[in-house]
Each structure stands twice: as structure tokens, then as C-alpha cells.
Amino acid sequence: MARTLYYYCAPEQSESRRREFSQLMAAAQAALATGQAALWQLQALSGAADYEALLAATALAAKGKAPADAPILAPDDVLLELGVGAVGVGLRLGALSQFKPLVIDFEQVAVRQRLLRGGRQKEAVARAVMQGLADGALVFDATAGLGRESMILAHAGAQVLAFERQLPIWCLLSDGLLRAGRSRFYPFPVPTLHALGTIRDYSGSARPEVIYYDPMFPERGGSAQVKKDMHLFQAVIGADRDTEDFVQAALALATKRVVVKRPDYAPPVAFADIKPAYSVDGGQCRFDCYQP
Ligand SMILES: C[S@@+](CC[C@H](N)C(=O)[O-])C[C@H]1O[C@@H](n2cnc3c(N)ncnc32)[C@H](O)[C@@H]1O
């Protein structure tokens, strides 16, 4: 059964932000026509009263006290909101509705310090992906997620085309990159987000030199230690279980290299005669590099 994605924009937001929010939701609606229709249905919340009632009833439902006929966010449903005073579009999940919304904000001090301190040498992902590439090389981030590594690669000089197949995350990232693109902190071309989907949907003629692939790996227990926003992100997505297929698709498309991120305790993706040529150590993770 389709999950519901509710959406709401506060009338207090500026006219231009409200317009951007409606454009985003129009793009999400268009994406449903391209294969996500079975997964999601969109539902607008027309006013602050509906928005507040939905959150209040969902909170009561979590305590087993919701009025029978009140609309609530089911555990799998999500709410995308541009609330009063919010810097960006936020995401809530029914099952974790008590969490404050997850927003992608590349301008936050801690986030931008991490993104900008790196360059090619400091960040292992940039070393693995950018080795031997000239500035402006076309790199696909096949699994954009919250966009942090896409931004690191863009800062390291890549022209990044990012892919994301989960509709709520795609909406969040689309808004995050839009704001990053006009931020004074990022005076370089920020990643471009492809239409919702995977590298299989790419129909351009330019082939990427490198494809970076960072699927969601099943958690090894102890999720209480995962930070709240990562916990929410993981709960929206679940694990990605089609890694071999995508490594193969990436190897058919990249001209120089496919880089796969794995936790340090996990074996490399290896099947048939495909195995990594070498790896770059990333501390708690590893970047396995495959040559087409
Ligand atoms: C572990 S997260 C990536 C985190 C990302 N590297 C970052 O810096 O935020 C994996 C993300 O890739 C998406 N994803 C997984 N497999 C995908 C695929 N084959 N095509 C497009 N997106 C995919 C998931 O929905 C999820 O958002």
C-alpha cells in the first residue's frame, strides 16, 4: 500500500519561498508518474489548523489516545513542511513524530566547517573519488542521501550529478542544494540533483569518469547511539538491498572508476569476477575502488 507524504507550507514564509515550495511539490507530483506512484501518494495540508491537528493527533496516537476519526501520520507516512521561521524544508516520520524535523542546512556552522575544511587530501572520500581527475571532471554520486559527500566532492573540484531514489529524501536534498547554490559560503558549482531515480535513468551523452556509490548498510545494532537525525533518515529509507546490481550498472557507465563505501567490518562487494582493485582507508569505513 502507498505511503502518504503530507506537505505543508506556512503562509508566514516569504512569497519566493512559498513559490519554491510549490515548485518542489509539483516536481514530486511529476516524479510519481515515473514509477513511484505505487509507493507514495501526496496529500496537501491546506492550512495551519490542519497541520497542527495532524501533529497533535499523531502525538496522541503514540500514547494510544487519538480520537478515532482524527487523521494521523501512520508510522510509515511522512510530513514535509516549510514551517514558520524554518530555514528549509523539514521532514518528519510518523513513527518518530516527536523528533524535530530533519532539515538539510549546508549553511549550519558545523556542517560547512566539515564540508569546507577538506579539499582533495583530507577527506578519504575525495581521495578515493578524485584521484587522477582534473578539476571539472564529471562524477556521479549514485546515492546522494543528505548530500554531504556530494558537496565534499563538488568542493574538491568535481562536477557532481547526484541521484536519489527515495521521494522524501529527494525533496529535502533538492531544497538543501537550492539554498546552498545561492549561499556565499559555497562559491563553487554545487551538485546538480538529477530527477528522482537512479543512475539507470540517466540518458545524457557525457559519461562520468567516476561513480561514487554509498548504499544504506544494515545497522549493526546499537542504533540508540546513532544521532537523532541519522536515526530518522535511516528509518525513512531502510536498508538498500540491491547493491550488486548497482555496482554492475555503475561499472558499465563509469569510464575510470567506481568507488563503493563500506563499513570497516563489512566485506567488499564481490561477485563473479568483480572485486575491488584497491581500497582507501576511511577510518570506520572503507572506500573500495573498482576499475571498469
Ligand atoms: C547511506 S545514504 C548516502 C549518504 C550520502 N553519501 C551522504 O553523504 O549524505 C544512501 C542514500 O542513497 C539512496 N539510494 C540507495 N541506493 C540508491 C540507488 N541505487 N539509486 C539512487 N539512490 C539510492 C538511499 O535512498 C539513501 O538516501
- Which pLDDT does position 105 carry in this prediction? 97
Exposure letters 81-110 (e unless 16+ CB within 10 A, then b): bbbeebebbbbbbbbbbeeebbbbbbeeee
The residue whose CA is least distant from atom 23 of ligand 1 is 143
pLDDT along the chain (292 residues), means of 10: 95 97 97 87 95 93 81 94 97 92 96 83 92 97 97 96 97 98 96 97 97 86 67 88 93 98 93 93 96 93
- Which pLDDT does position 217 carry in this prediction? 83
- Which pLDDT does position 278 carry in this prediction? 97
Phi, psi of 58 (to 5 degrees): -65, -40
> Which run of H or E residues covers position 49?
helix 48-62
C-alpha cell at 158: 568535481
Within 8 A by CB and 6+ apart from 280, the residues are 124, 127, 128, 259, 286, 287, 289
Mind listing the pLDDT tens digit for each residue in 210-251? 999 999 987 665 555 568 888 899 889 888 889 999 999 999
Ligand 1 pocket, mutate which of 129, 240, 253, 287 (most atoms under 8 A from CB): 240
The residue whose CA is least distant from atom 14 of ligand 1 is 143
CA of 69 to the centre of ligand 1 (A): 37
For residue 216, give the ligand 1 atom closest to its CA.
Answer: 1
- Which pLDDT does position 98 carry in this prediction? 85
CA of 240 to the centre of ligand 1 (A): 8
- Which pLDDT does position 199 carry in this prediction? 98
- Which pLDDT does position 225 carry in this prediction? 54
Q: Which residues line ligand 1 (CB under 6 A)?
A: 142-143, 145-149, 163-166, 169, 198, 214-216, 237, 240, 246
For residue 146, give the ligand 1 atom closest to its CA.
Answer: 9
User: Please, is 162 exposed, middle or buried when counting C-beta atoms within 10 Å of its C-beta (0-12, 13-18, 19+)?
Assistant: buried
**Domains, the chain, ranges and CATH?**
3-103 (no CATH), 115-232+239-290 (3.40.50.150)
The residue whose CA is least distant from atom 9 of ligand 1 is 146
* DSSP string of 73-117, one letter each residue: --TT-EEEEE-TT-SS-EEEEGGGTTSPPEE--TTSHHHHHHHHH
pTM to 2 decimals?
A: 0.95
- Which pLDDT does position 43 carry in this prediction? 96
